[in-house]
Amino acid sequence: MRSLPDKSLAPKALSVWKISAVIESVFLFLIPLAYWGTMQIWELPLWILYALIAFAAVIAVLDIFIIQTLKWNRWKYKVYENEVELMRGVFIVERVIIPMIRVQHVDTRQGPILRHYKLASVTISTAATVHEIPGLQMEVADELRDQIAQLAREADPDE
């Protein structure tokens, strides 16, 4: 059995994800709002409105308090000498292997929320795909970027 990757993301990343989930769930409440809008024009049953509100609320609560935590718990990465391994996904669990000799470049990037929490994401690009390790502490992210870049440079092409 190949051992699972064991490095977690920064604990603060969970807070950032929860904030993003709150922002996203605001949009979820647009559905009952739109229904309420149509109710002003046509006669429509009221109970559907309550059902929609309840639905949006349940989804929002699940997303903010459970899904994000599960997602954070699942997210693991590990940097080996010759490859990077990622594990992610709440329902569909993915394990990704990216060999160092296939890495074309590594970046760190930050959005406004990430910056506020002094976090950054690391993106690893190959010729065909791009993978992101979201939400690491800034110093860790910078270190990781330099480390992967270094290992990618050293990777032996004959292997």
Partner 1 sequence: MNNWQRQHPAAIFISFLNSLKQLIVTLVLVFIFGQTSQGMSSIFFISFFLLILFGSLISGFIGWWKFQYYLKEDELQVKQGLIFRKNRFIRRDRVQSIDINAKVIQRIFGLVELKIETAGGGSEPEFRLIALKRDDAELIKKELLEGKSASQEKEGYLGEISEGMAQSLSLSDYKEAETKEQESSKAFTWDLTPKRLIIAAITSSGVGIAATFMAAVISQVPQFLPDWLINIAIGWIVQSSIVYVGMFLVTVLISAWIFTIISTVLKYGMFSVTKRGKDIHISRGVLEQRQLTLYENRINAVRIVQNVLRQPFGYCAVYVESAGGGTKEEDLSTILLPLCKRNEVMNLLEELVPEYAFEVSYESLPKESMRRYMIKLFVPLFIAAGIITYFFSYGWLAFIFPIAGGTLGYIQYKTAGIESFKEYLCIRSRQLSKTEVFLPKRRIQDMVHSQNPLQRLDQLFTIEVSVLTTVVGKVFSLKHISSQQKENYMEWYSYEESTETLLPEENI
Look at the block and give the residue holding tokens 């989930």.
Answer: 21
* Number of residues written out for the chain: 159
Among 126, 132, 142, 149, binds partner 1 (CB under 8 A): 126
Q: How far is the CA of 45 from the CAs of 52, 130, 140, in angstroms?
A: 12, 48, 54
Number of chain residues interacting with partner 1 (CB under 8 A): 40
101 binds partner 1 (CB under 8 A): yes
Mark 23-52 with x for binding to partner 1 (rule: CB under 8 A) and - for no binding. Answer: ------------------------------
DSSP 8-class letter at 108: E
In the complex, the smallest distance separating the C-beta of residue 34 from partner 1, rounded to whole angstroms, is 26
Q: Does 147 bind partner 1 (CB under 8 A)?
A: yes
> What gap in Å lies between CA 96 and CA 133, rounded to an integer?
11
CB 49 within 8 A of CB 6: no
Among 18-26, 35-43, 99-107, 111-119, the segment contacting partner 1 (CB under 8 A): 99-107
Pair type for strands 7-8 and 130-137: unpaired
**Binding region for partner 1 (CB under 8 A):** 1-3, 7, 78-83, 89, 91-104, 126-129, 131, 147, 150-153, 155-159
